[in-house]
Amino acid sequence: MSNTITAPAFDIARIRADFPLLEGEMRGKPLVFLDSAASSQKPQQVLDALDYYYRHQNANVHRGVYELSQQATDAFELGRERARHFLNAGSTEEVIFVKGCTDGINLVASSFGRKFLREGDEVIISAMEHHSNIVPWQLACEYSGAILKVIPINDRGELIMEEYKKLLSERTQIVSIVHVSNALGTINPVKEIIDLAHDRDIPVLLDGAQATPHLKVDVQALDVDFYAFSGHKVFGPTGIGVLYGKKKWLDAMPPYQGGGEMIATVSFEKTTYNELPFKFEAGTPDISGAVGLGVALEYIEQIGQDNISAHENHLLEAATKQLLEIDGLSIIGTAENKASVISFLIEGTHPYDLGTILDKLGIAVRTGHHCTQPLMDRFEIPGTVRASFAVYNTMEDVDKLVAGVKRAANMLR
């Protein structure tokens, strides 16, 4: 039971108090928010930063000679520096602001694809990818004639590494893999994946959408070539994300989009491109988004990713244990190394019906295929109910989830 679980290493009440929306009610009941894998709530510090930016610093960046524009540029570039620090990238030249994780992956698939993918080449992804790390590569393959190869997974939802080794070949141009699965919670052995690819000089992209809210990510220690994540899942605003790329690749890749900001000179005969990272940032960027994201990343670092992981693991363990006591409940995704997500089904019930009853109890979970349809096909299921935890969730949330699921199961059967 929950009172046997060791207390978290930080003050959860203080953390919760930072998130105004969590104090609210939903359907007349205190909100139990268990859908942070889809999008996280925002702390007051981020809300304040956005408010301050628009009240005191708002102007376009990198253009004005006037003081206000320089203040906006400084605030925007501070966001970039904070993102660099968060990922431990070597330089802000390697930190590109994008709309989100999807946009970051599309940038690489499109630009790297145009430069390096040819007919008969191969791109390796895995069976547990989000659609955002499947479809951009399908498009790149369609344009280039390259072929998509898929690493299979076992019944626990872990990559079969022997199969990965077999797929790597002289035809492989890039490997693109999710760091933490949004549907299963599996933490993939990314260092091993990268090292095996690098043995053959193949670059690796990691989809970090679900890893960044929960784990310490160090792109230099990983030696990863590209790393993409979304601001809205790490307590930052929507519409902003980061693509880290090693300078050697970004230098070699053509621009993704054309427009203002990404150019050095333009004439009708010839355009030359701006230096990194601006070469990949066409048009006015999401300035306030970058400001808010920077504050959100600092917020995470102040709590400490190790503390966050430890706290969430307590919740995950307790929820897993208690949910499994419910008759007919099975968990999809039982990898040894998991983070923060529980996907489950109850025999004789539909995930959507379960989710609807939980909603009536004020419990927000996600139901459906979680943008991983090929993964659902692999398990021969239409979808799951997914509860996902963030730093602000409590054992009380776990208890309410378990009680709610029991009640819903009894009503539906």
CB of 178 to ligand PMP, least distance (A): 5
Taking contact as CB under 6 A, which single stretch among the options 205-213, 304-312, 382-390, 399-407 is the one that binds ligand PMP?
205-213
The correct pick among 89, 178, 297, 335 for binding ligand PMP (CB under 6 A) is 178
Angle at 205 between CA 296 and CA 222, to 5 degrees: 75
Contacts (CB under 6 A) with ligand PMP, residues 226-245: 230
Contacts (CB under 6 A) with ligand PMP, residues 118-137: 130, 132-133
> Does the footprint of ligand PMP cover residue 335 (CB under 6 A)?
no
Taking contact as CB under 6 A, which single stretch among the options 14-22, 51-59, 97-105, 322-330 is the one that binds ligand PMP?
97-105
CB of 85 to ligand PMP, least distance (A): 21
> Does the footprint of ligand PMP cover residue 209 (CB under 6 A)?
yes
> Does the footprint of ligand PMP cover residue 102 (CB under 6 A)?
yes
The correct pick among 75, 89, 95, 101 for binding ligand PMP (CB under 6 A) is 101
> Looking at 17, 50, 161, 371, which residue is catalytic?
371
DSSP 59-83: S-SSS--SHHHHHHHHHHHHHHHHH
Taking contact as CB under 6 A, which single stretch among the options 28-36, 78-86, 100-108, 296-304 is the one that binds ligand PMP?
100-108
> Toward ligand PMP, which CB reaches closer, 73 or 309?
309
Report which of 116, 117, 111, 69 is spatially closest to residue 282, judged by C-alpha positions.
111
> Toward ligand PMP, which CB reaches closer, 187 or 402?
187
CB of 105 to ligand PMP, least distance (A): 7
Asked if residues 312 and 286 have their Cβ atoms less than 8 Å apart, the reply is no
Asked if residues 139 and 109 have their Cβ atoms less than 8 Å apart, the reply is yes
CB of 229 to ligand PMP, least distance (A): 8
> Does the footprint of ligand PMP cover residue 309 (CB under 6 A)?
no
> Toward ligand PMP, which CB reaches closer, 230 or 343?
230
> Toward ligand PMP, which CB reaches closer, 282 or 371?
371
> Does the footprint of ligand PMP cover residue 188 (CB under 6 A)?
no
> Does the footprint of ligand PMP cover residue 210 (CB under 6 A)?
yes
The site map against ligand PMP for 380-409 (x = CB under 6 A) is ------------------------------
The site map against ligand PMP for 137-176 (x = CB under 6 A) is ----------------------------------------
Report which of 361, 353, 346, 356 is spatially closest to residue 399, judged by C-alpha positions.
361
DSSP 265-303: EE-SS-EEEPPTTGGG--SS--HHHHHHHHHHHHHHHHH
> Does the footprint of ligand PMP cover residue 182 (CB under 6 A)?
yes
> Catalytic site residue 101?
no
Asked if residues 342 and 334 have their Cβ atoms less than 8 Å apart, the reply is no
> Toward ligand PMP, which CB reaches closer, 230 or 322?
230
DSSP code of 224? -
- Residues near ligand PMP (CB under 6 A) are 100-102, 130, 132-133, 178, 182, 207, 209-210, 230, 371
Task: Please identify every residue annotated as catalytic.
Answer: 371
